[in-house]
Amino acid sequence: MRRYSAFAIAREAARYHTGWERAWRSPAPKKAYDVVIVGAGGHGLATAYYLGRNHGIRNVAIIEKGWLGGGNTGRNTTIIRSNYLQDESAAIYEKARSLYENLSQDLNYNIMFSPRGVMMLAQTEHEIRGYKRTEHANRLQGVETRFISPKEVKKLVPIIELGGPRYPVLGALWQPRGGTARHDAVAWGYARACSDMGMDILQKCEVNGIKQKNGQVTGVRTTKGEITCKKLGLVVAGHSGLLAEMAGFRLPIESVSLQALVSEPIKPCMDVVVMANTVHGYMSQSDKGEMVIGGGADGFNNYTQRGSFHHLEETVRALIETFPIVSRLKMLRHWGGIVDMTGDRSPIVSKTPLGGTFINCGWGTGGFKSIPGSGWAMAEMMATGEPGDLAAGFGLDRFREGRFIDESVAAGVAH
């Protein structure tokens, strides 16, 4: 595939952009692959990419029932950070954050990574204690975070209201190298690189059965016919429970809807990401000028890609407390995604009871930030058959053994 470069843009400009080739192929499915990955979201595509790049496994199909990146990967609010509490989490999220730093160069695709800084507001004494604990843990883990004063918060975010009607801002956990990236571009960049390595991305192809023999996976049934494989990766976020059922095991996962909304575009007014866990809302400004806003997840299980109205109302109310200027903004659109929640708010990157089958899920409301690290770890596990250091703690066995990786503080407002 031809590389994207300044020279290529100039050349195409001179010939009215008629020479661009398609970013990825849309092939017909082959009868057999070494590896099949179900789910062409960020995590599935990243798994395929690192299988090829790090382990030389390229006879791979990535099967997607809709369009690539059309699941949560294309629906999230793009926050990237690694200020988690537990060592296992800090390791995988920091690996992901550091891979994001050079992902555009690595993929030769501009993912618009913007390390603008992420702050999580402390608005109760309890939150101050929680975030100071995280700051200390992060120092030991080599993750750069700092607890900052309300004065520093105001300096970084002039539009914030420090003395809100219910909860004043008492400080914040600040990660200067956190930020955002363009979510679609992450999926598109990985897809293009996978296609370039000869992998097949099969869109509009739903997996509706998993074939097995003597406890070993042999292939999948799809709406485009049967495909055999030696190894199978299930990377379908909110649909993980359904795929696990097809494979014959159960998961400790609940699927709920999480929603977000964007405002009309306005002039640049906020150049960091702010999350307010106590009042439950968060906001950043996109490159187009829209304010990107998110809140909490629905309190009941469902598979709809939209959210309930009361959440929308609560999120906007929370935002108005923290940023009074929001009350003057018109909202343009809102949407929802089906997120996969575990009890300890940590992911599952694991072998499964079905031989040759691996699962990557449970990223819940915060898995965009982990895409590169998760793909890296999942690819290592699929290539070698065993989880490496990054994935070791995230096995399914932790739920049986009570070895939880509790991230309820880090995942407070989700994301």
Ligand X SMILES: Cc1cc2nc3c(=O)[nH]c(=O)nc-3n(C[C@H](O)[C@H](O)[C@H](O)COP(=O)(O)OP(=O)(O)OC[C@H]3O[C@@H](n4cnc5c(N)ncnc54)[C@H](O)[C@@H]3O)c2cc1C
Of 4 and 53, nearer to ligand X (C-beta) is 53
Q: Please report how close the Cβ of residue 342 comes to ligand X at its closest, in angstroms.
A: 12
Q: Per this entry, what is the length of the chain?
A: 415
By Cβ distance, which residue is nearest to ligand X? Answer: 41
Q: Please report how close the Cβ of residue 151 comes to ligand X at its closest, in angstroms.
A: 27
Task: Round to whole Å and give the CA distance between 3 and 26.
Answer: 19
Q: Please report how close the Cβ of residue 9 comes to ligand X at its closest, in angstroms.
A: 29
Q: 325 burial class (0-12, 13-18, 19+ CB within 10 angstroms)?
A: middle
**345 to each of 165, 185, 395, 411, how far by Cα in Å?**
30, 26, 13, 7
Q: How many CB atoms lie within 10 A of CB 37?
A: 34
Q: Please report how close the Cβ of residue 10 comes to ligand X at its closest, in angstroms.
A: 34
Of 4 and 290, nearer to ligand X (C-beta) is 290
* Contacting residues toward ligand X, per CB under 6 A: 38-44, 63-66, 70-73, 75-79, 206-207, 235-237, 239, 258-260, 294, 337, 339, 363, 365-369, 415
Cβ pair 382, 352 in contact under 8 A: no
Cβ pair 173, 147 in contact under 8 A: yes
Q: Please report how close the Cβ of residue 397 comes to ligand X at its closest, in angstroms.
A: 21
| H runs (alpha helix) in 157-260 | 183-196, 240-247
Coil, strand or helix: which one is 170? Answer: coil
Of 77 and 104, nearer to ligand X (C-beta) is 77
Q: Please report how close the Cβ of residue 73 comes to ligand X at its closest, in angstroms.
A: 3
Q: Please report how close the Cβ of residue 203 comes to ligand X at its closest, in angstroms.
A: 9
Of 162 and 302, nearer to ligand X (C-beta) is 302
Of 160 and 293, nearer to ligand X (C-beta) is 293
Task: Round to whole Å and give the CA distance between 257 and 270.
Answer: 28
Per-position DSSP letters for 329-394, written without gaps between them: PPEEEEEEEEEEE-TTS--EEEE-SSBTEEEEE--GGG-STTHHHHHHHHHHHHHHSS--TTTGGG
Structure tokens at 15: 């010939």
Q: Please report how close the Cβ of residue 208 comes to ligand X at its closest, in angstroms.
A: 7
Task: Round to whole Å and give the CA distance between 348 and 395.
Answer: 6
Of 20 and 249, nearer to ligand X (C-beta) is 249
Q: Please report how close the Cβ of residue 37 comes to ligand X at its closest, in angstroms.
A: 9
Of 220 and 320, nearer to ligand X (C-beta) is 220
Task: Round to whole Å and give the CA distance between 314 and 296.
Answer: 9
Task: Round to whole Å and give the CA distance between 42 and 374.
Answer: 9
Task: Round to whole Å and give the CA distance between 415 and 97.
Answer: 14
Of 49 and 368, nearer to ligand X (C-beta) is 368
Of 35 and 235, nearer to ligand X (C-beta) is 235
